[in-house]
Amino acid sequence: MSEPNLNGKVALIQGGSRGIGAAIVTRLAAQGAAVAFTYVSSEAKAKELQDRVVAVGGKALAIKADSADANAIRQAVSRTVETFGRLDILVNNAGVLAMAPLDEFKLEDFDRTLAVNVRSVFIATQEAARHMGEGGRVINIGSTNAERMPFAGGGPYAMSKSALVGLTKGLARDLGPRGITINNVQPGPVDTDMNPADSDFAGSLISLMASGRYGRAEEIASFVAYLAGPEAGYITGASLTIDGGFSA
């Protein structure tokens, strides 16, 4: 059972209605945080997750917001603060994956990849930091593909996740003097509805992994919860890989 070491804290998760994001919402709420999270299209899943947290005595708020829209991100931060009175933890989990051969990759897909996977992280962090004080936490969800992209067609995605490595290091210098940490979690293949562990594609990835299996969303969430907690105050500017040996 998770320790309630986040009592009194407020978290906002960009992209929290399903998969890794939903696992993070559930874990942080179980440890005592009031949790707001954004979604774009999965309204039913978002409402179900919100209700599930509230049903067991937690506090949750689902906010519809496209992470490609700067104003929507800022409004999500504002609504979180207005509803729960503060903001202590930001998890930037929203992401898109577009893959295609180089000759066929659409520029609009390239631009949206940057908008959601990189630009939204900067905007949300900039806005959230205005409300954070000593002990604030920013956690970006990157990807092991920042270090290893073993197949063709994923260059723009890998680039976007590599960008988070540099952004995290740079923002650590801005936020450190204020007692706020920022770190980048780099998951490997994780069993979700968008990337199920029993697909043909999964089989090709598992053969590249030292552990021989996909990760579970709950394993990523536990790592995020540690970084969000009081014991992780000396970790900042780091990119931390949790990938079952995919990049080993």
Asked whether the predicted pLDDT for residue 127 surpasses 70, the reply is yes
Predicted pLDDT of residue 3: 77
For residues 236 and 232, what is the distance between their CA atoms, to the nearest angstrom? 8
The arithmetic mean of pLDDT across residues 207-229, rounded, is 97
Question: Confidence band (pLDDT; 50, 70, 90) for 27?
Answer: very high
Q: By C-alpha distance, which of 101, 105, 125 is closest to 113? A: 105
Place of tokens 């999500």: 76
Domains along the chain? 10-242 (3.40.50.720)
Instruction: Residue 140: count other Cβ atoms within 10 Å of its Cβ.
Output: 26
For residue range 71-125, what is the model confidence (pLDDT) as tens digits? 999 999 999 999 999 999 999 999 999 999 999 999 999 999 999 999 999 999 9
* Residue 100: φ, ψ to 5°: -170, 155
Q: By C-alpha distance, which of 51, 63, 8 is closest to 33? A: 8
Where would I find the beta strands (DSSP E) of the chain? 10-14, 34-39, 60-64, 89-92, 137-141, 181-187, 190-191, 215-216, 239-242
Question: Confidence band (pLDDT; 50, 70, 90) for 1?
Answer: low
Predicted pLDDT of residue 156: 98
For β-strands 137-141 and 60-64, DSSP reports them as unpaired
Give the alpha-carbon dihedral of 232, 222, 2, 196, to 10 degrees.
Answer: 170
Predicted pLDDT of residue 201: 87
Burial of 122: CB neighbours in 10 Å, binned 0-12, 13-18, 19+: middle
Catalytic residues: 157
How confident is the prediction for the chain on average, in pLDDT?
A: 96
Which of 1-10, 25-34, 183-192 comes out lowest in average pLDDT? 1-10
Predicted pLDDT of residue 42: 85
